[in-house]
Structure 1
């Protein structure tokens, strides 16, 4: 069941709310960006399930695109904290999505976080449907 969570960057310049059903699962990926950020996210949200409340003017955008699709990784340019991503990836259905960094949620309890299902994705090899051989470091 979806629940509305509130999130922010560290300095609170960027704030948002997102409707997330943690029972749908969370994810960790081994691509170079996710690995460097130690990202744990709730992905593939519908764009309408994410609402930016403040900070559009301070959001940075690290974007990548190719024949696989596009992805925009958003972060606060004041404190550097990544908050969410959005884009469309063909291997993931090609539909627009939003992915929220769970560490940016201000009202997510540790108990709820660790109880949520967790899937691993082999983004390093563009094998999004399968987990990588090694996940201990994720």
Structure 2
């Protein structure tokens, strides 16, 4: 899996956007139940913004914000994939789309915790998790 200090690369589906990041200490992998994350169905890997470098395709990224505008969702303008977004709860971090990390797949994880983005701490809610999503493989 991903170990603190390791350097990984990733990108969008068409390869236009490429990035590199260093895995932080105590990495966080999660989903979120807010409106956009629920629709994207993304599993996020939290990375300090300072540790992520865009290698190619920065000019192809399209920005989407809504509500408070604090979260900044970046999409490839060619293939539509969401490689990462600036987190509302931790504006100094990106939530990297786990499926966009080279060699990774969300199907390698049996469980992923779900953050309560519908009752976000910035809106007076608690900083909490509300559940776990599970992937159960079919027997061979």
What is the aligned partner in structure 1 of residue 21 from structure 2?
A: 18
Gaps of 5+ in 2: 136-140
Q: 1:60-100 CA deviation, whole Å, 9 max, x = no partner? A: 1002352xx7111001010000000115x3xx3x5522110
TM-score normalised over the length of structure 2: 0.76
Contact 1:6 1:107 in 2 (8 A): no
What is the aligned partner in structure 2 of residue 81 from structure 1?
A: 81
What is the aligned partner in structure 1 of residue 127 from structure 2?
A: 129
Structure with greater strand percent: 1
Question: Which of structure 1's runs of 4+ aligned residues deviate more than 4 A?
Answer: 134-138
Q: How many residues align?
A: 128
Contact 1:5 1:107 in 2 (8 A): no
In 2 relative to 1, CA 29–95 (structure 1 residues): closer, same or farther, beyond 3 Å? closer
What is the aligned partner in structure 2 of residue 107 from structure 1?
A: 103
Please show how residues 1-138 of structure 1 align to structure 2 within 5 Å.
Answer: 1-21=4-24, 24-43=27-46, 45-64=47-66, 66=68, 70-87=70-87, 89=88, 92=89, 95-108=91-104, 113-114=108-109, 118-126=112-120, 127=125, 129-132=127-130, 135-136=132-133
User: Deviation at 1:125?
Assistant: 1.9
Distance 2:33 2:52 in 1: 24
User: Deviation at 1:33?
Assistant: 0.6
Gaps of 5+ in 1: none
TM-score normalised over the length of structure 1: 0.77
Cα RMSD, aligned residues only: 2.8
